[in-house]
Amino acid sequence: MPEQTPAAKRSPPQVPWAKWLLGLVILVAVLVASYQFRGELSLTSLAAREVQLRAWQTAHPVLAIAIAFVLYVLVTGLSLPGAAAMSILYGWLFGFGSAVVLVSFASTTGATLAFLLGRYLLGDWIQNRFAAQLTQFNANLDREGAWYLLTLRLIPAVPFFVINLVMGLTRMRVFTFWWVSQAGMFPATCIFVWAGSTVPTLHELAQQGLGSVLRPQLFAALVALGLLPLALRGAMRWAKQA
């Protein structure tokens, strides 16, 4: 059997064609869904059917929650825009308590789906192709991965889909990603759902835009949420020194 040449040994690993095909299918599905339903799920379109939407939700509460859950998972799992707007909409439609539970578990389920897609499609290739560069990063992530992810989840400025996909490229365990995301996204979920639950009508929300729910209290809550990781880290350091 001929010995491998050094060049052959250093050749970068290839992504199997099946993964490229799956990635292409997902990309096409996202583009088609974004184009097909861009108007149906807009605030203006929903506001025009506000009475029917509320009546249908009242008549079929369990089915409405099930459909809302699946839609939220699809939006977040496929990294489509609109998760924050959906949180506000669900707060208006289902009320604060029910919407918080719904959005919390649906967002984490969708995030985990995006995490797994990123890992399956590119995770192994990234880890093999850049093994030397990622050695220290993986070591830090193994040591403080949960805290690092929690910090990112508590900062609303960090894009939701970026965290999902990037973490999928690491060696973080799926269960760790799930429970940290569940805990880390919960405060922001409460804030956006609460904002939606205070909206009187969808017509008003459509007329004034999402800016109508951005009250001073909401800004203050988001700022406090961004500062929370610093406060928690400071408290942990103080507890270790005490």
- Residues 122-158 pLDDT 10s: 666 666 666 665 666 666 677 777 887 888 787 766 7
In a domain, 10, yes or no: no
In a domain, 4, yes or no: no
- For residue 7, name the pLDDT band (cuts at 50, 70, 90): very low
* Cα four-point dihedral sign 31, 35, 36, 38: positive
* Three-class secondary structure of residue 39 per DSSP: coil
Range of the domain at 202: 16-241
99 CB burial (10 A radius; 0-12, 13-18, 19+): buried
- For residue 237, name the pLDDT band (cuts at 50, 70, 90): low
In a domain, 205, yes or no: yes
The confidence score (pLDDT) of residue 63 equals 95
Start-end of H helices in the chain: 6-9, 17-36, 43-48, 50-59, 61-77, 83-94, 96-118, 124-129, 131-153, 160-168, 174-197, 202-208, 216-241
- For residue 68, name the pLDDT band (cuts at 50, 70, 90): very high
Is residue 103 within 8 A of residue 90, CB to CB? The reply is yes
pLDDT, tens digit (0-9, with 9 covering 90-100), for 13-41: 555 666 666 666 666 766 666 666 555 55
In a domain, 99, yes or no: yes
Distance between CA 83 and CA 80 in Å, rounded? 8
Distance between CA 135 and CA 158 in Å, rounded? 24
- For residue 218, name the pLDDT band (cuts at 50, 70, 90): low
In a domain, 6, yes or no: no
Helices 61-77 + 83-94 axis angle, to 10: 170
In a domain, 9, yes or no: no
Give the end-to-end CA distance of the chain in Å, rounded to a whole number: 64
The confidence score (pLDDT) of residue 8 equals 45
In a domain, 156, yes or no: yes
Residue 52: pLDDT over 80: yes
Distance between CA 92 and CA 202 in Å, rounded? 8
Residue 2: pLDDT over 60: no
Q: How many domains does the chain have?
A: 1
pLDDT, tens digit (0-9, with 9 covering 90-100), for 188-214: 898 889 888 888 777 777 676 666 666
Widest CA span in the chain = 76
List, in order, residues 6 or more apart from 41 with CB less than 8 Å away: 82
Average pLDDT, the chain: 75
DSSP category for residue 122: I
Token pair for 202: 């969808």
Residue 235: pLDDT over 80: no
**What would you report as the CA-atom Rg of the chain, rounded to the nearest whole angstrom?**
21
The confidence score (pLDDT) of residue 78 equals 81
In a domain, 7, yes or no: no
Helices 83-94 + 174-197 axis angle, to 10: 60
* Three-class secondary structure of residue 147 per DSSP: helix
